[in-house]
Amino acid sequence: MNLMTLFQGVGTLFYQEPNVVIARIALIILGIVLVYLGKKGTLEPLIMIPMGFGMSAVNAGVLFLSADKIGTLFMDPLVEQTDELMGILQIDFLQPVYTFAFSNGLIACLVFMGVGVLADMGNVLRFPFTSMLIALFAELGTVITFPIARAMGLTMGESAAVSIVGGADGPMVLFASLILAEDLFVPITIVAYLYLSLCYGGYPYLIRLMIPKEMRGMVVKAAKATDITSKEKIIFDIIACTLLCLLFPMGAPLFVSFFLGNAVKESGVLKYMELLENVLLYMATFFLGLLLGVLCEASTLLDPKILPLLVLGILSLALSGVGGIIGGYVVYLINGKKFNPVIGIAGVSCVPSTAKVAQKEVYKINKRATILQYAMGASVCGVITTAILTGLYITMVPLFE
């Protein structure tokens, strides 16, 4: 028996194009590195461990499906014919998850429901204008990256999808890129998740670069923690959700998921809370990571547009960080210099990581300074403003294309 036929993962390496072979080996190694960095805590383990496993396994487990066809038994994202899809659904073990939960954005919505349960609207309701202003400034990257991406030769949809990386919300990037840039949704979402993990290491340096030490330790007057009731939060959830759905029906699945998650938390229905927070959020995050990894087949990532995406993704997040800090300075000036501009970085969404980064930086200078209330308000508002911008992009871009 031919050894190449017996060990087909290795055998296929001798039948594929050299560039595909190199990419396969590089992705196998990258997958292992991602798992290591996830375990070490450098990157987000919840996403990176399943993603790394998926990436390594899909590029290693390549086999001869027929005499002239090479593929895997994971899934086929490119299948279009219904009959063919029905066949693949019975063979590829991840195809049902991809077809019924990934390609329609359900998985992004499930993650968003969980994020809704984790988010506390109290601080948004306590400081609505401050939080919203900071969050809007922190969308700078989401806006400026768009014309830059266009100048680099991407289509309008691709430019909009990669710009949304600046909103620092993984599920939002996935949802938007599925609608606006179906061909590039895999690399765009992977770039988003990779950079989201890395930017928390980079933002402290940005804070230190843009804000002098004496300002970073500034104490901000805290508000009473009990002044916003659950009833008020639920009323806000339903009003905001309805308003946003009215304005942007294309983004309605995301809006309803986020605000419903939050309303469940505020209504105190413990069983639903446990379901969304402990089961659906982690299940969706796990499969999101695994599927993103499995989608990293060498042939998918050999697209020449990947390099601009890598540059634009990091640019978008960096500009959003700069915008957030500018927003912090604007509120500092509006409030008669009684506001800590470090809070601005929390406007870059991704609850609650950026808020924690802000608090940590302030704490390093002044152990008595607590800014978490304002930072959490800006962070949750960041989710809302990213949802607004995503809604605007997916509504407006097709009109101009």
Partner 1 sequence: MRDLLLAGEIYFLAFVIGMLMAAIIKIMLFVIRRISPENRGAGAKAGQPDKGGGAA
Handedness of CA 36, 40, 44, 47 (dihedral sign): positive
The 164-193 site mask, x for binding partner 1 (CB under 8 A), equals ------------------------------
Q: Which positions from 213 to 242 touch partner 1 by CB under 8 A, shown as an x/- string?
A: ------------------xx--xx--xx--
Q: What single letter denotes the amino acid at residue 138?
A: A
According to the binding rule CB under 8 A, does residue 108 interact with partner 1? no
162: contact with partner 1 by CB under 8 A:
no
Q: How far is the CB of 315 from partner 1 (least distance, A)?
A: 14
Q: How far is the CB of 245 from partner 1 (least distance, A)?
A: 13
The minimum distance between CB 143 and partner 1, in angstroms, equals: 4
How buried is 273 (Cβ within 10 angstroms: 0-12 exposed, 13-18 middle, 19+ buried)? middle
User: In terms of Cα–Cα distance, which of 130, 141, 103 is closest to 350?
Assistant: 141
Instruction: For residue 164, count CB atoms less than 10 angstroms from its CB and return exposed for 0-12, middle for 13-18, buried for 19 or more.
Output: buried
Report how far residue 327's alpha carbon sits from residue 347's, in angstroms, rounded to the nearest whole number: 8
DSSP symbols for 246-291: HH-GGGHHHHHHHHHHHHHHHHT-HHHHHIIIIIIHHHHHHHHHHH
Q: Does 124 bind partner 1 (CB under 8 A)?
A: yes
Q: Which of 159, 285, 316, 353 binds partner 1 (CB under 8 A)?
A: 159
Residue 14 lies near partner 1 (rule: CB under 8 A): no
Coil/strand/helix, residue 8: helix
Of residues 352, 351, 317, 366, the one with CA closest to residue 211: 366
* Residue with Cβ nearer partner 1 (57 or 223): 223
Q: How far is the CB of 396 from partner 1 (least distance, A)?
A: 6
- The smaller minimum CB distance to partner 1, of residues 257 and 385, is found at 385
- By beta-carbon proximity to partner 1, the closer residue of 98 and 393 is 393
384: closest CA among 354, 353, 357, 350?
A: 350
Which of 144, 172, 218, 288 is close enough to bind partner 1 by CB under 8 A?
A: 144
Residue type, position 281, single letter: L
By beta-carbon proximity to partner 1, the closer residue of 6 and 151 is 151
Q: Which helix (H) or strand (E) holds 63?
A: strand 63-66
Q: HSE (CB half, 13 Å, CA atoms) of 39? A: 8
In the complex, least distance from residue 385 CB atom to partner 1, rounded to whole angstroms: 6
Angle (deg, nearest 10), helices 230-247 and 372-400: 20
Measured from the CB atom, the residue of 52 and 324 that comes closer to partner 1 is 324
Q: For partner 1, give the closer residue by CB, 355 or 387.
A: 387
CB of 389 to partner 1, least distance (A): 5
Exactly one of 41, 147, 153, 249 binds partner 1 (CB under 8 A); which one?
147
Stretch that binds partner 1, among 20-28, 141-149, 205-213, 260-268 (CB under 8 A): 141-149
Q: Torsion over CA of 330, 335, 340 and 344, rounded to 10 degrees?
A: -40
The distance of closest approach from Cβ of residue 234 to partner 1 in the complex, given in angstroms and rounded to an integer, is: 11
# of chain residues touching partner 1 (CB under 8 A): 35
151 touches partner 1 by CB under 8 A? yes
Instruction: Return the number of the residue (245 or 281) whose C-beta is nearest partner 1.
Output: 245
Report in angstroms how near the CB of residue 246 gets to partner 1 at its nearest. Answer: 11
HSE-CB for 201 with a 13 A CA cutoff: 10
Chain CA centroid to CA 20, Å: 28
Binding-site ranges for partner 1 (CB under 8 A)? 124-125, 128-129, 131-133, 135-136, 139, 143-144, 146-147, 150-151, 156, 159, 231-232, 235-236, 239-240, 243, 247, 381, 384-385, 388-389, 392-393, 396, 400
